[in-house]
Amino acid sequence: MRKYRTVFMVALADRLVYRVDFFVSTFLMFIPIVTTVLLWRAIYSGAGGENIGGLNYSDMVSYYLLVMVVRAFGSMPRLASTVASDIRDGELRKYLLQPISYLGYQGTLRLAHKIIYFIMAAAPYALVFWICRRFLPAWPDGGTLCLCVVSLVLAGAIGFFINALIGLLGFWFLEIASFLHLFMTVQYFLSGHMFPLALLPASVRTVISYLPFAYETYYPTLVLLQRTEMASAVEVIGVQAVWVTVLAIVTRVAWSRGLRRYAAFGG
């Protein structure tokens, strides 16, 4: 594990080189939160302040605020494109010659990025949550808080393996930009990032519940909102764990089969 610890520390140092730039870019990411809150305010005002899909304005704002927290765990910026680029350009060969797992290396880099991101984003998150505190649920008790943390970690693992799988398509396709664009569009809709899945018909929600996307964002957000009973929260975590296991196995199979057809040239 020493080599992964070294990679982790180097990645932390790399993220801290341009601290001001990182902080400013992180702060600017909160601007869409303000615009979305104002958008939903206009929608509810146009609807006469009534419930939409069983959710009032306060519910919608709190949902969207906590979706941002969940997505901070599950999103893996540039992971898929980096993996595909390393495969296409032949950069993967140097990792194959070293005693290190390539996907483990990429996971370690993302872990370092997440830690720095949360450190830098702590102040903006605190400011936004303080301003919108009347919309947010009460602080959870110890047991619920533990379930929330576990659900967030599993959401991050699901996001990592899904993005890694998209990147591994580079073994079979020269360019994966179209696949990545399609995936991001589908994920944005089916994960509950765009709007709560409760607004969809029950039959559509049933179909979506058989896919991993909702367990990357929507259901973990419900756990954070404390909108689920303890037993339901445990069930969500159980399904997340199943998806992490399935995606890890599929990723391993895709990696093994992809290496059989991989060829890199040059020194």
pLDDT values of the chain reduced to their tens digit, one per residue, 267 residues = 777 888 788 777 776 666 666 666 666 666 777 777 777 778 777 766 667 766 788 888 888 888 888 988 888 888 999 999 999 888 898 888 888 899 999 999 888 888 888 887 787 788 888 888 888 888 888 888 899 999 999 999 999 999 999 999 999 988 888 888 888 888 888 998 888 888 888 888 889 989 999 999 999 999 988 888 888 899 999 999 999 999 999 999 999 999 998 876 554
Range of the domain at 213: 2-260
**106 in helix, strand or coil?**
helix
Taking the C-alpha atoms of residue 68 and residue 212, their distance in angstroms, rounded to an integer, is: 18
Taking the C-alpha atoms of residue 62 and residue 67, their distance in angstroms, rounded to an integer, is: 8
Tell me which H or E stretch contains 220.
Answer: helix 218-225
Taking the C-alpha atoms of residue 238 and residue 175, their distance in angstroms, rounded to an integer, is: 35
The verdict on residue 84 lying in a domain is yes
The whole-angstrom distance between residue 39's C-alpha and the CA centroid of its chain comes to 23
The verdict on residue 267 lying in a domain is no
The verdict on residue 14 lying in a domain is yes
Q: Do 73 and 153 form a contact (C-beta atoms < 8 A)?
A: yes
| Total of domains in the chain | 1
The verdict on residue 266 lying in a domain is no
The verdict on residue 265 lying in a domain is no
